[in-house]
Amino acid sequence: MRREKRVTEQINNSMVMKCVAYQNGVNIGDVTIEDISEVLKQEDTFVWLGLREANSELLVKIQQEFGLHDLAIEDACAAHQRPKIEEYGESLFMVLYLRLKKAGWL
């Protein structure tokens, strides 16, 4: 339990863009990283998690909460990944790039 607390303290909230739970296709609300595994126990529920420049401490916590395969975390750590979708058991891992509009430029 001590290790888990230390990891949580090192997670910077600016790395988590969005963490939202959906049940039967309906948004049921925001979820903290620490609550993901509990939310996923509910039937017909999934969690959308958007990250930006996540550090290793956050990725370890996410791996624990989602029960992710080591290869998914390895992919998440690799810079300049091509967009892709991988299936690991009951988890779907996606690498996506979003375009942001700044000052009239796309």
How many degrees, rounded to 5, is the angle at CA 20 between CA 74 and CA 18? 60
Mean pLDDT of the 18-26 span: 95
Token code pair at residue 24: 């039967």
Among 61, 57, 17, smallest CA distance to 37 is for 61
Residue 9 is predicted with a pLDDT of 41
Domains of the chain and any CATH numbers? 2-95 (3.30.460.20)
**Taking 70 as the threshold, does the pLDDT of residue 1 lie above it?**
no
**Taking 50 as the threshold, does the pLDDT of residue 2 lie above it?**
no
CA 54 to chain centre: 9
Pick the most confident of 25-39, 41-55, 70-84. Answer: 25-39
